[in-house]
Amino acid sequence: MSTTSTYPLRQIMHMDLDTFFVSVERLLDPKLAKRPVIVGGSPFERGVVSSCSYETRVFGVHSAMPLRQAFRLCPQAVFLYPHFTHYAEYSKLVKDILSDIAPQIEKASVDEFYLDLSGCEKLKGNTYDWAKDIQKNVNGETQLPLSIGLSTNKLIAKVATSEFAKRSEAKSYKVEPGDEAQFLSPLPVAAMPGIGEATEKIFLTYGMHRIGQIAQTPVQLMTRLFGKNGKTIHQHANGIDLSPIIEQREQKSISRDHTFTEDTFDVVLVVASLHRLASDLAEGLRANVVLAQKIGVKLRYSDFHTVTKTASTCYTNTTQEIYRIAEKLLRSVWTRRQRIRLIGIEAHDFIDDLQQLYLFGEDKQKKEGTIDSVVDSIRHKYGDASIAYASHLVH
């Protein structure tokens, strides 16, 4: 079924950073090159595989497998704890590179991007050649291996990457306009994005093993089996996907401030207010699932003279780390013997908090992060006033 006669022609590129966590670990430690590597933690602890190198997959290891099982299958592998901050930094680097190249970008996950290259042929020439140039550019600047797929929509481009580009020497694959349904037809049902194990079992029960069989099934039967989602599955099986590139607007900064009821000299009151602001700011960072590298403090005196100062830190969103930095900044900017009218705190230079996304993390901030998570959950259930750090309270 051709999609070009009914729907507007687009040129969508899908980019996948191959074995991303492992690839970053190898950049950090080149001795890991060509060795079997499993990222997830110790094989003697409870946990699952976050990422594994191709050298381990020949032994049957795959993502989400229990680490102990992975060890039984491939005991010679190097087992590593994940370094989420490094992964987020490299992901941001790739996003920044792409933002300078392509007009529209969607970051689908930490290691997966969609680019809308539609209408750029007049400027860039052959779109597929340009897509391969983008691939070379990203690889050259980051040294990360990656695969790309190109087609008229996101679904086909993703399948082109996962089913063909990753297995090709060039690590790239293009599906021509009008060939979408024919491209999908011989592929197994599980190859279609959005088809999980439960849905796959239903199709197999009905004798549908290939995507082409789904495409030929009456849409009425599909809606009877899967409700409203049945129509979407039927369209996808026929190579039709109208979903747009969604560009997330990244928040540049998060700030909190407090104006005192009366201008004050009270050091205890000012410090307690700063700690409360740090707690609120850290909670905002965690709610947005980001870490901040820079923390700033703002101090406004009673004559409205305002002083600000910023310091860099390791990426963080824990209350205590943010407060430690803010308290040092406060001491350095509070230099006048004058009453304070307002105090504020700000965080910027963000990366994704992959530790929170993957539900396990690095030991460095684990303890403080656990405390913050408990505080967040209590406030979410019982309200912001239900719990506070003792340092917030002024008698």
Closest CA to 351 of 376, 314, 309, 320: 314
* CA dist 314 → 71, 142, 175, 292, 317 (Å): 32, 21, 43, 8, 10
Mean pLDDT for the stretch of residues 361-373: 50
| pLDDT beyond 70 at 372 | no
User: Can you tell me which residue has the tokens 């909670």?
Assistant: 283
pLDDT at 134 over 80: yes
Gap between the Cα atoms of 242 and 235, Å rounded: 10
Q: In which band, very low, low, confident or very high, does the pLDDT at 129 lie, cut at 50, 70 and 90?
A: very high
The whole model's pTM is what?
0.81
Contact 362, 88 (CB under 8 A): no
What is the mean pLDDT of the segment spanning 291-320? Answer: 95
3-state helix, strand, coil in the chain (%, to 5): 45, 20, 35
Q: Which one-letter DSSP state was computed for residue 172?
A: E
**For residues 117 and 13, is the Cβ–Cβ distance under 8 A?**
yes
What per-residue confidence (pLDDT) applies to 365?
45
Per-residue pLDDT band for 395 (boundaries 50, 70, 90) equals very low
Closest listed residue to residue 78, CA positions, set 69, 87, 70, 90: 70
Q: How far apart are CA 70 and CA 287, in angstroms?
A: 33
According to the model, what pLDDT value does residue 2 have? 44
Closest CA to 177 of 372, 5, 62: 5
pLDDT of residue 371: 54
Residue 291: how many other CB atoms lie within 10 Å:
27
Give the pLDDT of residue 120. 79
Q: How many helices (H) and strands (E) does the chain have?
A: 16, 12
- pLDDT tens-place string over residues 152-207: 999 999 999 999 999 999 999 999 999 999 999 999 999 999 999 999 999 999 99
Q: In the chain, what are the domains?
A: 11-155 (3.40.1170.60), 253-392 (3.30.1490.100)
d(CA 282, CA 379): 13
Q: Which residues are catalytic?
A: 112
329 close to 296: Cβ distance less than 8 angstroms: yes
pLDDT of 366 strictly over 60: no
